[in-house]
């Protein structure tokens, strides 16, 4: 099992290009199952989760062609199997997103209950209730969700009592081929959902209310092929900005978007960062200063994203003053504080709130990643710690960050990957 070895103390300085969004690319790849013609998806990141989703499509008999720029052509005309097996699904929660497209396009799907990060309860009841409202028959047997809609799905009015990104994506995809009109109330508004919706529209779907919590989908008989470029990864963007801020450095990020990261940029400015946005570029400059502590509370978009709280916890650990980080989305997502405290951080947990008293410096130590974003927080901590930090179980980080050690090395970090 690979590890990252980081010798801390370097002030990050330089520029890198931001990769395509994992959280957008995965549902968009699932959506290709809806089209009658080949679909080309570009700007996909080279990540384990993307590779797993492509393997899942291949195991169903779907034709997948990849060029050297990670532009993937998906042709489902050869599909022969409608099962998402446990061996592939167990490592990636997003595999549940093939359920809606398979059910809508072929009237059947057998999908194993998904895996992913151990960050708390993420029930899929809302997905299943939505499919049942659209006329599907759902049976759970032997760890598999067996869904059938031999007569096709019917449009329905669906109120989701909890804001769910995956549920919104799954039901929106299914509704594109349902008979009649589907209305999704209390829908999630994340930019990745907007990206998926825009891709579906490029395939011929009829969707109104994109980017709002009230989405109306008018079903069509078929979707056609298209070429679509995945949006930049806002969480990767935020992670590198936060790493630079924690180190007191400067970073220029190319090919990204500031308009979908406003809550994060606001908190970085509160921490003392000078931020300049120029088109698709974002520059952050701390001018050598230590960051100031900030307090934040996670909530669904457009509020502060849960996928960025671990990174801000690491920055707060070396900031001036005391800050609080309150997690409202997942109950186990403050688990990284125990590893940060092993490095000399002063963090106490009060319910779902971490109280972080900044220290001047952390100390390098062996630490273990527990999930994707906690991994990123430990890397940031290692970058600003004195001495050597070894981050174990980095298969988590490889699920969401493309070439992280290479990009950080470009910014001046002393970081290398070693086999376990």
Query: Crossing angle for the helix pair 234-247 and 372-384, nearest 10 degrees?
Result: 20
Three-class SS state of 258 = coil
Closest CA to 94 of 154, 169, 34, 36: 169
Q: What is the maximum span of the chain, computed from C-alpha positions, in angstroms?
A: 65
Whether 117 sits among the annotated catalytic residues: the reply is yes
Handedness of CA 359, 364, 368, 369 (dihedral sign): positive
Closest CA to 325 of 291, 297, 293, 358: 297
111: β partners: 84, 145
The residue annotated as part of the active site, out of 42, 117, 226, 403, is: 117
418: β partners: 3
Three-class SS state of 96 = helix
Closest CA to 314 of 379, 365, 388, 268: 379
Q: For residue 229, what are its two tokens? A: 């470029």
Q: For residue 402, what are its two tokens? A: 């493309």
Q: For residue 264, what are its two tokens? A: 């994060």
- Cα–Cα distance measured from residue 307 to residue 300, given in angstroms and rounded to the nearest whole number: 11
Q: For residue 258, what are its two tokens? A: 């500031």
Active site residues: 117
């Amino acid at each position: 099992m690979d590890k990252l070895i980081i010798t801390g103390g370097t002030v990050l300085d330089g520029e890198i290009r931001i990769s395509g969004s994992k959280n957008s690319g995965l549902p968009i790849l699932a959506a290709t199952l809806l089209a009658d013609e080949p679909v080309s998806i570009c700007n996909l990141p080279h990540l384990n989760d993307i590779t797993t989703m492509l393997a899942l499509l291949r195991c169903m008999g779907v034709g997948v062609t990849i060029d050297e720029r990670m532009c993937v052509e998906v042709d489902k005309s050869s599909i022969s199997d409608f099962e998402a097996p446990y061996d592939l699904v167990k490592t990636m929660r997003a595999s549940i997103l093939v359920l809606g497209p398979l059910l809508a396009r072929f009237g059947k799907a057998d999908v194993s209950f998904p895996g992913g990060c151990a960050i708390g309860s993420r029930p899929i009841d809302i997905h299943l209730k939505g499919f049942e409202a659209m006329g599907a028959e759902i049976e759970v047997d032997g760890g598999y969700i067996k869904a059938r809609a031999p007569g096709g799905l019917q449009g329905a009015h669906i109120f989701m009592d909890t804001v769910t990104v995956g549920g919104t994506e799954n039901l929106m995809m299914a509704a594109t081929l349902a008979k009649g009109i589907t209305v999704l109330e209390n829908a999630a508004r994340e930019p990745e959902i907007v990206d998926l919706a825009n891709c579906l529209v490029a395939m011929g779907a009829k969707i109104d209310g994109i980017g709002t919590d009230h989405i109306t989908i008018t079903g069509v008989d078929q979707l056609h092929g298209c070429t679509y470029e995945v949006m930049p990864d806002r969480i990767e963007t935020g992670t590198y900005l936060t790493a630079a801020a924690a180190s007191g450095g400067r970073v220029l990020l190319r090919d990204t978007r500031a308009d979908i990261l406003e809550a994060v940029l606001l908190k970085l400015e509160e921490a003392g960062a000078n931020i300049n946005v120029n088109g698709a570029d974002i520059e952050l400059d701390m001018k050598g200063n230590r960051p100031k502590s900030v307090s934040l509370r996670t909530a669904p978009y457009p509020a502060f994203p849960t996928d960025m709280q671990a990174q801000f916890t690491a920055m707060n650990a070396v900031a001036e003053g005391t800050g609080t980080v309150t997690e409202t989305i997942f109950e186990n997502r403050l688990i990284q504080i125990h590893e940060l405290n092993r490095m000399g951080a002063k963090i106490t947990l009060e319910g779902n709130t971490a109280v972080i008293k900044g220290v001047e410096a952390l100390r390098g130590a062996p630490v273990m990643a527990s999930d994707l974003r906690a991994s990123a927080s430990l890397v940031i901590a290692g970058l600003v710690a004195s001495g050597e930090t070894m981050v174990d179980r980095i298969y988590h980080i490889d699920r969401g960050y493309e070439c992280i050690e290479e990009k950080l090395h470009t910014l001046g970090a002393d970081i290398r990957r070693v086999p376990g």
